[in-house]
Amino acid sequence: MAKTKFAYFCQSCGYESAKWLGKCPSCGQWNTFAEEIIEKASTSVPDWKAPSTSLQRSNKPVQVADITYHEEHRVLTPDKEFNRVLGGGVVPGSLVLIGGEPGIGKSTLMLQLALNMPNLKVLYVSGEESEMQIKMRAERLTQPSPEGKAFEKLKAGNSPAHIPGDGRAGAYILTETATQNIFKQIEQLQPDLVVIDSIQTLHSAHIESTPGSVSQVRECTAELLRFAKETSTPVFLIGHITKDGMIAGPKILEHMVDTVLQFEGDRHHVYRILRAVKNRFGSASELGIYEMLGEGLREVSNPSEILLSQRDEPLSGITISATLEGLRPMLIETQALVSTSAYGTPQRTATGFDTRRMSMLLAVLEKRCGFRLGAKDVFLNITGGIRVEDPAIDLGLAAAIISSHEDIPISSKVCFAGEIGLSGEIRAVNRVEQRIAEAQKLGFEQIFISKYNLPKAGDKKRIDFSRSTIDVKTVGNIEEVFGLLFG
């Protein structure tokens, strides 16, 4: 018998210590260490075997030139937003972690994905809900295929219950938390895709701690990682988050998986945002937008239309900025409110924007343009509930602040794309052609960009504005912008 050993883990960050500590040296939290019983790693072998068709990897070192490369074959899902965030589809053998607040729609997104892929055999493993609860949710989800409307009576027990499709493929539901039993069912079913809801509910018999502990989450993830890599089966993990918004469990969990997706949004609003935090197979700055309806999540193909409000009359303090999220250009509405401070210290509040960068913009406006904003309350808001880190919205925010300060509205047919420097200059932004094309497609008549976006003499990458029906205004400093806007 292998001798068991004890260890202390920080329940906040996963730091391991041989003895109990009052304060975690890694994250600085107090009274977060808990004792857990762990066994030797040599006994932690999952009770499953890979199919004979899986690739047998050699343990010998191989030169890079001798490695045979095959173009990766991605599995396209019916959800275009999900494909975009993943980098073009699901990569075989990948391990994807999806985190988000309770009730945000993580289980709905994964169950909807499993039900809408009739050509694949999908195993949905749930450790939080019963089969009847999953069936109730599945009945109200929108199904593109006619077989998705009919469901068999799900049988109680630990065997996968099948939601019927063509007799071979379709969605299978398994309510189980023990990894050994899950791998036995996987060996019998041999699914094309596996969904785990959630990783914090699983437990391995090789670890004697409770489900959700640091060692259990790490061990269960390691077993699923080995299964995904050796069988080339994609695995999706749903993870809980802490009160700080971080994914619960050890930090190594995010390092072990291939892709980390964050499902964001306010439960009191209908729009949800799926953001890629880490992606080994694509861009880590992609973003997908969904609308939460009674029959499930609906993908939003043109987010600019929902981020722009329809106004009947011009209002001061509102501008439109052209931003980029990954490869997608979007036009968002930026709002500003400037009022006289009723207290001694003025308030500086920003929603969806960095407060420190807002303070920098206010300092530039006061120093370079002469606007007295030191005794004013300034509030900024990015509509739609999204957070923007693109510096190209600096020009639009500065114009909104001055519009609210002077109470002069800006035309709703004008948009902005430029970064503001500390000396008041308008700096160039990347991929300005896509921003201009998006503004032109949505019917805008004028866009302000930096004159440094114009090509220099002899530059091969020349920007042709002659074909654009939109009026492109090139400016060099912020005083020039305000002169054209406010006269």
pLDDT the model gives residue 186? 93
b/e 277-309 (16+ beta carbons within 10 angstroms → b): eebebbeebbbbbbebeeebbbbbeebbeebbe
pLDDT the model gives residue 468? 67
pLDDT the model gives residue 140? 84
pLDDT tens, 270-285?
888 898 999 999 888 7
Binding site per annotation, positions = 100-107
Nearest to 274 by CA among 96, 417, 451: 96
Which residues have CB under 8 Å from 424's CB, separation 6+? 364, 367, 368, 369, 477, 478, 479
Which residues have CB under 8 Å from 156's CB, separation 6+? 131
* 369/372 Cα distance (integer angstroms): 9
* 85/260 Cα distance (integer angstroms): 10
* 237/221 Cα distance (integer angstroms): 9
Which segments in the chain show pLDDT lower than 70? 1-4, 38-59, 71, 142-159, 161-168, 267-268, 310-312, 455-468
CA-CA-CA-CA dihedral for 261, 265, 271, 272, to nearest 10: 10
Which amino acid does the sequence have at 24? Answer: C
Which amino acid does the sequence have at 129? Answer: E
* 197/109 Cα distance (integer angstroms): 11
Give whole-number Cα distances, 37 to 40, 107, 178, 284, in Å: 10, 31, 17, 37
HEC string of the chain equals CCCCEEEEEECCCCCEECCCCCECCCCCCECCEEEEEECCHHHCCCCCCCCCCCCCCCCCCCCHHHCCCCCCCCECCCCHHHHHHHCCCECCCCEEEEEECCCCCHHHHHHHHHHCCCCCEEEEEECCCCHHHHHHHHHHCCCCCHHHHCCCCCCCCCCCEEECCCCCCEEEEEECCEHHHHHHHHHHHCCCEEEEECHHHCECCCCCCCCCCHHHHHHHHHHHHHHHHHHCCCEEEEECECCCCCECCCCHHHHHCCEEEEEECCCCCCEEEEEEEEECCCCCCCEEEEEEECCEEEECCCHHHHHCCCCCCCCCCEEEEEEEECCEEEEEEEEEEEEECCCCCCCEEEECCCHHHHHHHHHHHHHHCCCCCCCEEEEEEEHHHCCCCCHHHHHHHHHHHHHHHHCCCCCCCEEECCEECCCCEEECCCCHHHHHHHHHHCCCCEEEEEHHHCCCCCCCCCCCCCCCCCEEEEECEHHHHHHHHHC
Binding site per annotation, positions for ATP = 100-107
The pTM for the full model equals 0.74
Quick check: 395 and 415 in contact, CB under 8 A? no
Domain range 306-486, CATH architecture: 2-Layer Sandwich (3.30)
Superfamily of domain 77-301: P-loop containing nucleotide triphosphate hydrolases (3.40.50.300)
Backbone angles phi, psi at 179, to 5 degrees: -65, -35
The single residue listed with the structure tokens 């002469």 is 370
pLDDT the model gives residue 59? 65
pLDDT the model gives residue 4? 66
Q: Could you tell me the residue ranges of all domains in the chain?
A: 5-42, 77-301, 306-486
Quick check: 194 and 186 in contact, CB under 8 A? yes
pLDDT the model gives residue 231? 92
pLDDT the model gives residue 26? 86
Residue 113 CB neighbours (<10 A): 21
Quick check: 332 and 323 in contact, CB under 8 A? yes
Query: What sign for the dihedral angle of Cα 447, 452, 453, 455?
Result: positive
